[in-house]
Structure 1
Amino acid sequence: MTTKPAGRKGLTRSGRWARGVAGLAVLAAAGEILGRAGIVDRDYLPPASAVIVRAAGLLGDTAFLADLWSTIRAWAIGLAIAVGGGVPLGLLLGSVPVLGTAVRAIVEFLRPIPSVALIPLVSLILGTGARTEVTLIVYAAAWPVLFNTIYGLQDVDPVAKETVRAYGFSGLAVVRLVSLPSAAPFIATGVRLAAAIALILAVGTEILSGFGDGLGVFIAQAQQTVDGTTDVLAGTLWAGALGLVINLLLVRGERRLFRWHFARSEAS
């Protein structure tokens, strides 16, 4: 009689949270030690406590809050457009192989072009401001949504599709009833990746422009001031916190909407 080896038990949710908090605490402690000990000049790396206090104090700065809201608004608009265009286009290219093959060369040509390299061109065409920022966000964020949608369609059970067709349903109905629900977890992963990319582009575009509104503008302007390193790091801390909150919300949403998918993945 053979016994089945016991697999390693995964971490609980509280255990994962504890590890994450511990990692942040170690990082903050390292920054505090380096700043206090003078190992790194405080003009370049202030103590972590000073950065955290400054970041908390920015909550009372109405100008900073307006910048933060401007970045969130541009991020949300750009991500919504990227998802609204990327999912239908991915469904179309993934469901019609002939069309997917026809545009593959164009897609593979455009995808490797860095979005930041397009800032001068887009600024020249659209001018500076929210339109340029949103356009660059859409360009960068659409790719993970598009390709995850296509990959999700490739993972659909062909037997389920043929069964639905056998009952006389049209191709569009097959996509709606079988392909889209099956590919939904892949699409959700693409949206989560796109959300992170959109935030990077939002802040990065604002930093490179250096004027207007936005969290990146706050960071860029802080670089030009005397002893502005603390403000730069405080703004960066807010950018990281914003990305962390967005990711946590999207992961929680995925787990609630697609419990069956995660249960199957953990079982296998």
Structure 2
Amino acid sequence: MINARVVRGVVGVAGLLAVAELIGRSGVVDPVLLPRMSAVLAGAAELLVDPRFLSDISGTLLVWGGGLLIAVVVAAPLGILLGSLPKADLAARPLVEFLRPIPSIVLIPLVTFLLPWDHGVKMTVVVYAALWPVLINTMYGLRDVDPLAKETLRSFGFGKLAVLRRVSLPSAAPFVVTGVRVATSIALIVTISAELLAGGSDGIGAYMIRAQAGFRTDLVLAATVWTGVLGFAANALLVRAHRWAFRWHVVKAGGAT
């Protein structure tokens, strides 16, 4: 049976596309500024066989995936450290709360001076943006561990490392995955934004700049469509992985498995 939520989502998207097409055909908006949705979708189909655009997607995936991987590798262990050591958390919290609100995009000029590599500049700001959701969720997950479970294990003679490995980390793992999900979306947004602002020779953002210079608004929007598809696919994959790996947590939270 088809999930009712999926059906509602499909109907909603189809309705939005239909409204956009009607607005385009009505002549209210200049088609150069806002092309018809049918033209945008046709352009999106053409991009699938455009070697240059496929190369640009590869550039975006490299920065997006590489930055996200580095962020997870750095943030998860750091979150475990701060989440399991209250004194370290207390000492680091002012610095975390100061750095976390700083938009990663504003770091582009500074990073450009420090790194000559185009992908390195973009990946650095992606790492900075994606690091915080993973770090905060990991710390929160460790604080949310049932204290009774930890005390029970300690009463049987297990040390701090054993309690961390057997109780705290398994309990915090779903929160870490949630942090990765949030970071994935943020990383994609920052990747495209960095490509638009920092320039470069490849990437979906670079393709948008070239299309805009050629007054091809339809191709700009078509590239935007594929950006949304990438984000949706990544989020759906992580949601499914979360439900499969942590069914007990989904049931506990009141969700369906």
TM-score if structure 1 supplies the norm length? 0.92
Select 1:176's aligned residue among 146, 149, 165. 165
Contact 1:210 1:217 in 2 (8 A): yes
What aligned pairs does 1:230-245 form with structure 2 within 5 A after superposition? 230-245=218-233
Select 2:43's aligned residue among 38, 54, 73. 54
Q: Alignment RMSD, CA only? A: 1.4
Report deviation, 1:240: 0.7
- Partner SS for 2:29: coil
Relative to structure 1, the CA distance from residue 239 to residue 95 in structure 2 (aligned partners, 3 Å threshold; closer, same or farther) is same
Amino acid at match of 2:241: G
Contact 1:209 1:217 in 2 (8 A): no
Relative to structure 1, the CA distance from residue 13 to residue 161 in structure 2 (aligned partners, 3 Å threshold; closer, same or farther) is farther
The CA distance in 2 between the partners of 1:216 and 1:202, in whole Å, is 8
What aligned pairs does 1:159-198 form with structure 2 within 5 A after superposition? 159-198=148-187
- Partner SS for 1:60: coil
1:158 aligns with 2:147: yes
Higher mean displacement: 217-226 or 55-64:
217-226
CA offset digits 1:174-214 (Å, max 9, x no partner): 11110011011111110000000010111110011233110
Report deviation, 1:221: 1.5
The CA distance in 1 between the partners of 2:167 and 2:188, in whole Å, is 32
**Structure 2 gap segments, 5+ residues each:** none
Aligned to 2:17: 28
May I ask how many residue pairs the two structures share in their alignment? 256
Aligned to 2:240: 252
Aligned to 2:251: 263
Contact 1:210 1:221 in 2 (8 A): no
- State the identity as a percent: 52
Aligned to 2:137: 148
Report deviation, 1:169: 2.1
Report deviation, 1:102: 0.5
The CA distance in 2 between the partners of 1:74 and 1:267, in whole Å, is 33
1:38 aligns with 2:36: no
Select 2:208's aligned residue among 214, 219, 228. 219
